[in-house]
Amino acid sequence: MREDTRTRIQEIALRLFTEQGYEATSLREIAEELGVTKAALYYHFKTKDDIVASLVEMRLAALEELLAWVRSRPRTPEMRRELVERYAASIRATRHLGIARFLERNQTALRDHPTMIKIRERMMELTAEMSEPDATPTERISHSLALFALHAGKWLTKEDDLSEEEIHKATLEVAMRLLEP
């Protein structure tokens, strides 16, 4: 039951943070939407920062898992392609998409949030692991952009123009092209 309430708090907070903005949403509003007192909400999360941290913990764990996988492999074209495929699959998850929208719409408010700093650091580590030490600057940037292309495709295409599957296939194709020599 405790996890169900915690999950409901996360879902409601995520929706309100995305719709209204992180700074404009209060713990009181989250508690009211949930139908509990602020004291009941405090049992699970003391602050909005605690809620944000819990929302992105799963994303951070997924990045750390990918980073461990990459570090256990030689830096080859095959590893890069598999990494892009794994990364693409991880960001397709519904939970990630909601969190990504929330983070994108609240960049200014969350820029210095400790969990966001960790995510940026892990992404920089992940992109650094994609290229051989002697790779040219063009190769390193191209390899790094392959991961970012997967995100950009979601934001640069209108959902009513293309299906989620079409967007996924197109962004994956672009990302793979960026890995080519």
| Whether 42 and 76 share a structural domain | no
| Whether 23 and 56 share a structural domain | no
| Whether 115 and 163 share a structural domain | yes
Range of the domain at 102: 52-179
pLDDT tens for each residue of 61-90: 888 999 999 999 999 999 999 999 999 988
Residue 160 has pLDDT above 70, yes or no: no
Give the CATH number, domain containing residue 38: 1.10.10.60
| Whether 29 and 88 share a structural domain | no
| Whether 120 and 31 share a structural domain | no
Burial 112-132 (b: 16+ CB within 10 A, else e): ebebbebbeebbeebbebbbe
Mean pLDDT confidence for 105-127: 84
Q: Are 33 and 11 in contact (CB under 8 A)?
A: no
Q: How many domains are there within the chain?
A: 2
| Whether 91 and 166 share a structural domain | yes
CA distance 130 to 148: 13
| Whether 34 and 75 share a structural domain | no
25 compared with 101, residue with greater pLDDT = 25
| Whether 90 and 166 share a structural domain | yes
Whether the CA torsion 28, 30, 32, 34 is positive or negative: it is negative
2 compared with 181, residue with greater pLDDT = 181
pLDDT for residue 158: 61
CA distance 118 to 64: 10
Structure tokens, 58: 């799963």
Confidence of residue 159 (pLDDT cuts 50, 70, 90): low
Residue 13 has pLDDT above 80, yes or no: yes
Alpha helices in 21-136 (DSSP H): 27-34, 38-44, 48-71, 77-92, 94-105, 107-110, 114-128
Mean pLDDT confidence for 15-28: 90
DSSP, residue by residue, 97-112: HHHHHHHHHTHHHHTT
Mean pLDDT confidence for 115-136: 90
Burial 54-86 (b: 16+ CB within 10 A, else e): bbbeebbebbeebbeebeeeeeeeebbeebbee
Confidence of residue 124 (pLDDT cuts 50, 70, 90): very high
| Whether 127 and 41 share a structural domain | no
Residue 143 has pLDDT above 90, yes or no: yes
| Whether 38 and 57 share a structural domain | no
Mean pLDDT confidence for 151-155: 76
Q: Which of 31, 46, 61 is the last residue of a domain?
A: 46
| Whether 159 and 77 share a structural domain | yes
| Whether 2 and 72 share a structural domain | no
Closest to 28 in 3D by CA, of 11, 47, 15: 47
Q: Which of 12, 28, 46 is the last residue of a domain?
A: 46
